[in-house]
Amino acid sequence: MNDAAAASAFRLRFLIGFVACAALIGFALFSQSHWHLNPCPLCIFQRIAFAVLGLAFLVGGLIAPRGATGRRILGVIALIPALAGIGIAGRHVWLTHLPPDQVPSCGPPLDFMMEASPLADVVRQVLTGSGECAKVDWHFLGLSMPAWALSWFIVLTILIAMSAFRRR
């Protein structure tokens, strides 16, 4: 595959990734406003990861470098929020599968934590999870929303690998 064709395939895949991230965030906002599924702190962090990943996909899709080095650099940039999202969603799925007696107690709301604590403390508190993050309000095809988020982060990570790191 020549450089122009590789850049075109990269552009298409990254723009598909951007559309997927935008659709996932749109669905999250729809489920919040129409089904009254208020997001827990881990859900909010997953939305942020999808937003940053979507931005990385958009930038990569618009730039679409002809050289393999440029595509790999953009791939690494996109991998950072994708892998962070896998970690956050994986932690969330783990919390949802804890036995009821092992679920951590509920913490303060995220907006209060943001006002009262330094950002590093807020991130640490959110990633340790709270009881509200263990509650599952929605299922589709047997998977909870955190499990779907984890699945999508994995699919998008594979898309990044196929786009940026595949040998031609």
3-state secondary structure of 66: coil
Cross-strand partners of 139: 144
In this prediction, what percent of the chain has a pLDDT beyond 70?
Answer: 92
Domains and CATH numbers, the chain: 3-164 (1.20.1550.10)
pLDDT digits over 35-75, tens only? Answer: 988 888 889 999 999 999 999 999 999 998 888 899 999 99
Residue with tokens 């907006």: 111
pLDDT at 168 over 60: no
pLDDT at residue number 88: 93
Which tokens is 104 given?
């951590």
Q: At what angle do helices 68-96 and 41-63 cross, to 10 degrees?
A: 170
pLDDT at residue number 15: 97
pLDDT at residue number 105: 66
pLDDT digits over 60-117, tens only? Answer: 999 988 888 999 999 999 999 999 999 999 999 988 888 877 776 666 677 777 787 7
